[in-house]
């Protein structure tokens, strides 16, 4: 027996957990982010201090709890979900600040271990500072809000409950079908309570990350459907990366001749210059992929959750009788679009399918020449007086090394990136577009760089996102974790502005401007906000550029620097962007006084007619 506090036992246990896949073993939880308050400083904080100089559980002080969860997600995604970080927060607001990160992790199917602190189990002096105190249930705390966001949730009211909570948490973290946010809430008094733990609790444990193989009959059914296909299309999602199945996908594509489109999480699954890579599928995809999608008779989804962006809100696949074959480790995703389910690891499934399709070659053809020219033009517009955003992305795409990583999450950039970016390395493209959370860009980049210190990380940050959460710049500076930030200033929400205009709402409330006393609207002059100065004040080196030539030079300077560097550039939010020849369902007011809204509603109703129901022909 070892006498330790609950928090000390927790840390000791976590330090002894390993993951293993394909014979490679590594620490499952190699570090912890945290922000201390009265809820965890003397419990988990004290336990982390006891091992601080041993390397058993490195501790990283974050600046915002939401940001630290984003960083943990970036880290784990970069490590293909083989490792996860823990996040400890104080009770009340410290913990609820992690809720958005929890939702992001679960939506993206990325493992993170969340350790929110909780109210006194003994209830000796309720209400403790920051306790919710609901009259209908004294056992309810703010941490119950983690339940719907977590793939595993437990609260350790008594020390005896800890081992089961820990084993359950590790199982879900390492289950590729179930993984996401995993939460163990720790009452502040219980954290500090001592208990006699059996030695076995701290034995080294190796969690095997499974590669489930397809059921033979399911494989046969899937292969039979694909064999009958004249115009099949693969939609490659994030699961291809997490399974490290990019080589298997390439072999599958080359053997079968099937073109491969990708999703935001899947980009890079087949590198852009592979003759069978046709670009993004869906609302922000390439017209080449979207034309193939429209005509596809069999869609083979591999590791994709089929978000509405990917399916263009169920308008992307128009051929009557189109069938879906879904290879996914999670049955939830394999069952989508009433598809033939191939529940398996992506690599195992692709290899098995390739063998089962021996002799099959898809007769489908396409031509990407025109589209490649359109991308080249968008990358070199020469837009005046301010450069276009597509030129910023183009310059970065061209100047970055193949192994550098580009990071983005929300605004107008994810769409432009999905449409235009040419991924030259499987891990070059990192856009969080399941939760599309403003504020992920800098925090996520921090975790990505921690996971891949040998790569340069370039985070593209819109002014809106920057204002929401730039605090992890300070963490990067303090930890000596070098980031490259590209702050794209366009004085507001270019994305939602353009969306608003297309829906007849005239960019209302999307510009960062002074309120104009004459009109009462936010339509006055630009604000004197200087985000470069802001980044500089947080400890980043700053390069201000005005032209694309200066920007290219700044990328090289930033790359060569060994400290966190922010490049500031202003772009024209109204510059033209190529069309994906696709659609996204955002409902427009059915009745409106405004003529612009009425016109937009008419266009909306036309698109709605293309929307396919789950079962059956056309929408009623």
Ligand X SMILES: Cc1ncc(C[n+]2csc(CCOP(=O)(O)OP(=O)(O)O)c2C)c(N)n1
**Nearest to residue 491, comparing CAs of 470, 445, 522?**
522
Q: Which is nearer to ligand X, 275 or 509 (CB)?
A: 509
Tell me if 389 contacts Mg ion by CB under 5 A: no
Cβ neighbors of 263 (< 8 A, separation 6 or more) are: 235, 236, 237, 238, 280, 281, 282, 304, 307, 309, 310
CB of 554 to Mg ion, least distance (A): 19
Q: Which of 460, 329, 340, 450 is nearest to 392 (CA)?
A: 460
413 sits near ligand X (criterion: CB under 6 A): yes
Number of residue whose CB is nearest Mg ion: 462
User: Interacting stretch for ligand X, rule CB under 6 A, among 134-142, 143-151, 283-291, 487-495?
Assistant: 487-495
CB contact set of 577 (below 8 Å; sequence gap of 6+): 378, 388, 389, 390, 412, 415, 416, 419
Contact residue for Mg ion among 34, 464, 497, 504 (CB under 5 A)? 464
Per CB under 5 A, the segment of 171-179, 203-211, 236-244, 457-465 that binds Mg ion is 457-465
Tell me which stretch binds Mg ion (CB under 5 A): 3-11, 49-57, 393-401, 461-469. 461-469
Which position's Cβ is nearest ligand X? Answer: 462
> Which residue among 65, 463, 472, 570 contacts Mg ion (CB under 5 A)?
463
- Least distance to ligand X, CB of residue 108, Å: 14
Asked if 423 contacts 429 with a C-beta cutoff of 8 angstroms, the reply is: yes
From candidates 411, 415, 444, 504, binder to ligand X by CB under 6 A: 411
Q: Which stretch binds Mg ion (CB under 5 A): 103-111, 336-344, 458-466, 543-551?
A: 458-466
Q: Does 494 bind ligand X (CB under 6 A)?
A: yes
Other Cβ atoms less than 10 A from the Cβ of 424: the count is 17
Residue 437, interface with ligand X (CB under 6 A)?
Answer: yes
Other Cβ atoms less than 10 A from the Cβ of 544: the count is 16
Phi, psi torsion values for 424, nearest 5 degrees: -105, 0
CA distances from 478 to 62, 443, 484 (A): 10, 14, 15
Q: Answer yes or no: are the C-beta atoms of 315 and 270 closer than 8 Å.
A: no
By CB under 5 A, is residue 571 in contact with Mg ion? no
Please state the closest distance from residue 412 (CB atom) to Mg ion, in A: 7
Class of residue 126 by CB neighbours under 10 A (exposed 0-12, middle 13-18, buried 19+): exposed
- Of these partners, Mg ion, ligand X, none, which one is at the site of residue 413 (CB under 5 to 8 Å by kind)? ligand X
Q: Which does 414 bind (CB under 5 to 8 A by kind): ligand X, Mg ion, none?
A: none
Residue 262: half-sphere exposure toward Cβ, Cα within 13 Å: 33
**Is residue 490 a contact residue for Mg ion (CB under 5 A)?**
yes
Q: How far apart are CA 521 and CA 532, in angstroms?
A: 27
**DSSP-derived 3-state class of residue 535:** helix
Given ligand X, Mg ion, none, residue 465, with its beta carbon under 5 to 8 Å by kind, binds ligand X
User: Using the rule CB under 5 A, is 497 a contact of Mg ion?
Assistant: no
Distance in Å, CB of 430 to ligand X, minimum: 17
Interaction between residue 436 and ligand X (CB under 6 A): yes
Nearby residues of 470 by Cβ (< 8 Å), 6 or more positions away: 442, 461, 534, 535, 538
User: Is residue 496 part of the contact set for ligand X (CB under 6 A)?
Assistant: yes
Q: Hey, which residues between 541 and 600 contact ligand X (CB under 6 A)?
A: none
Residues 572 and 490: beta-carbon distance below 8 Å: yes
Interacting residue with ligand X among 412, 534, 580, 582 (CB under 6 A): 412
Looking at the Cβ atoms of 231 and 507, the one nearer to ligand X is 507
Q: How far is the CB of 577 from Mg ion (least distance, A)?
A: 14
Report if residue 283 touches ligand X, rule: CB under 6 A.
Answer: no
The three-class DSSP label of residue 104 is helix
Asked whether position 465 contacts ligand X by CB under 6 A, the answer is yes
> Residues touching ligand X: how many (CB under 6 A)?
17
Interactions with ligand X, residue window 129-168 (CB under 6 A): none
Q: Which stretch binds ligand X (CB under 6 A): 278-286, 430-438, 520-528, 605-613?
A: 430-438
Kindly state whether residue 493 participates in binding ligand X, applying the rule CB under 6 A. yes
Q: Closest separation between CB of residue 570 and ligand X, Å?
A: 11
Report, in this order, helix, strand and coil percent for the chain, each rounded to 5.
35, 20, 45
CA nearest to 555, candidates 567, 564, 544: 567
CB of 110 to ligand X, least distance (A): 17
Please, what is the minimum distance in Å from the beta carbon of residue 143 to ligand X? 21
16 contacts: CB under 8 Å, gap ≥ 6: 202, 203, 204, 205
- Cβ neighbours, 10 Å, residue 393: 24
Interacting residues with ligand X between 43 and 72 (CB under 6 A): none
Q: How far is the CB of 362 from ligand X (least distance, A)?
A: 37
Rounded Cα distance between 374 and 380, Å, is: 10
Q: Which pair of structure tokens corresponds to residue 520?
A: 């009462």
- Nearest CA to 469 out of 68, 94, 107 is that of 68
Q: How far is the CB of 279 from ligand X (least distance, A)?
A: 21
- Sheet of strand 152-155, all strands in order from the earlier edge strand to the far edge: 59-61, 32-35, 86-89, 112-118, 181-187, 152-155
Q: Is 99 near ligand X (CB under 6 A)?
A: no
Which is closer to ligand X, CB of 348 or CB of 416? 416
Given candidates 462, 531, 532, 540, which one binds ligand X under the rule CB under 6 A?
462
Least distance (Å) from Mg ion to the CB of residue 310? 24
In angstroms, the CA 169 to CA 465 distance is: 32
Asked if residue 410 binds ligand X (CB under 6 A), the reply is yes
- Binding-site ranges for Mg ion (CB under 5 A): 462-464, 490
Binding site for ligand X (CB under 6 A): 410-413, 436-439, 462-465, 490, 493-496
């Amino acid at each position: 027996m070892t006498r330790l506090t609950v928090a000390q036992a927790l840390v000791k246990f976590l330090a002894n957990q390993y993951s293993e896949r394909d014979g490679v073993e590594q620490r499952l939880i190699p570090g912890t982010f945290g922000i201390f308050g009265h809820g965890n400083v003397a419990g988990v904080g004290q336990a982390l201090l006891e091992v601080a100089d041993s390397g058993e559980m490195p501790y990283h002080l974050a600046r915002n709890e939401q940001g630290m969860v984003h960083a943990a997600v970036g880290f784990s995604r970069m490590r293909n979900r083989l490792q996860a970080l823990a996040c400890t927060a104080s009770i009340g607001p410290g913990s609820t600040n992690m809720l958005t990160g929890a939702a992001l992790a679960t939506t993206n199917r990325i493992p993170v271990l969340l350790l929110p602190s909780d109210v006194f189990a003994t209830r000796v002096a309720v209400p403790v500072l920051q306790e919710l105190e609901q009259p209908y249930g004294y056992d309810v705390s703010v941490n119950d809000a983690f339940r719907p966001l977590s793939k595993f949730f437990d609260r350790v009211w008594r020390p005896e409950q800890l081992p089961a909570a820990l084993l359950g948490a590790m199982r879900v973290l390492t289950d590729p079908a179930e993984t996401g946010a995993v939460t163990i809430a720790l009452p502040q008094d219980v954290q500090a309570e001592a208990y006699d733990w059996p030695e076995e609790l701290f034995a080294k444990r190796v969690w095997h990350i499974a590669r489930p193989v397809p059921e033979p009959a399911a494989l046969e059914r899937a292969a039979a459907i694909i064999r009958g296909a004249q115009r099949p299309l693969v939609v490659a999602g994030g699961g291809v990366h997490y399974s490290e199945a990019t080589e298997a996908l390439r072999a599958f594509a080359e053997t079968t001749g099937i073109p491969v489109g990708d999703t935001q999480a899947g980009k890079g699954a087949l590198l852009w210059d592979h003759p069978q890579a046709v670009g993004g599928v869906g609302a922000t995809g390439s017209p080449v992929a979207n034309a193939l999608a429209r005509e596809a008779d069999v869609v083979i989804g591999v590791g994709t959750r089929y978000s509405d962006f990917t399916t263009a809100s169920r308008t992307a696949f128009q051929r009557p009788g189109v069938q879906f074959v879904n290879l996914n480790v999670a049955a939830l995703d394999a069952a989508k679009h009433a598809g033939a389910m191939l529940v398996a690891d992506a690599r195992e499934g692709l290899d098995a399918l390739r063998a089962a399709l021996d002799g099959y070659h898809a007769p489908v053809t396409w031509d990407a020449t025109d589209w490649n020219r359109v991308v080249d033009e968008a990358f070199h517009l020469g837009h005046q007086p301010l450069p276009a955003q597509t030129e910023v992305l183009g310059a970065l795409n061209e100047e970055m090394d193949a192994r550098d990583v580009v990071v983005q999450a929300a605004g107008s950039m994810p769409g432009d990136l999905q449409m235009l970016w040419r991924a030259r390395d499987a891990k070059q493209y990192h856009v969080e577009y399941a939760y599309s959370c403003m504020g992920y860009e800098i925090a996520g980049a921090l975790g990505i760089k921690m996971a891949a210190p040998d790569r340069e990380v370039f985070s593209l940050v819109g002014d809106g996102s920057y204002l929401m959460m730039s605090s992890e710049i300070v963490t990067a500076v303090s930890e000596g974790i070098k980031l490259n930030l590209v702050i794209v200033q366009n004085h507001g929400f270019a994305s939602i502005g353009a969306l608003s205009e297309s829906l007849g709402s005239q960019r209302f409330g999307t510009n960062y401007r002074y309120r104009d006393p004459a009109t009462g609207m936010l339509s006055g002059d630009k604000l004197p906000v200087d985000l470069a100065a802001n980044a500089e004040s947080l400890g980043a080196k700053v390069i201000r550029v005005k032209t694309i030539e200066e920007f290219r030079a700044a990328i090289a300077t930033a790359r060569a620097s060994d400290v966190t560097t922010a490049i500031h550039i202003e772009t024209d939010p109204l510059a033209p962007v190529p069309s994906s020849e696709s659609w996204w369902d955002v409902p427009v007011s059915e009745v409106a006084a405004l003529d612009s809204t009425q016109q937009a509603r008419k266009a909306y109703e036309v698109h709605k007619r293309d929307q396919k129901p789950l079962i059956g022909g056309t929408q009623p």
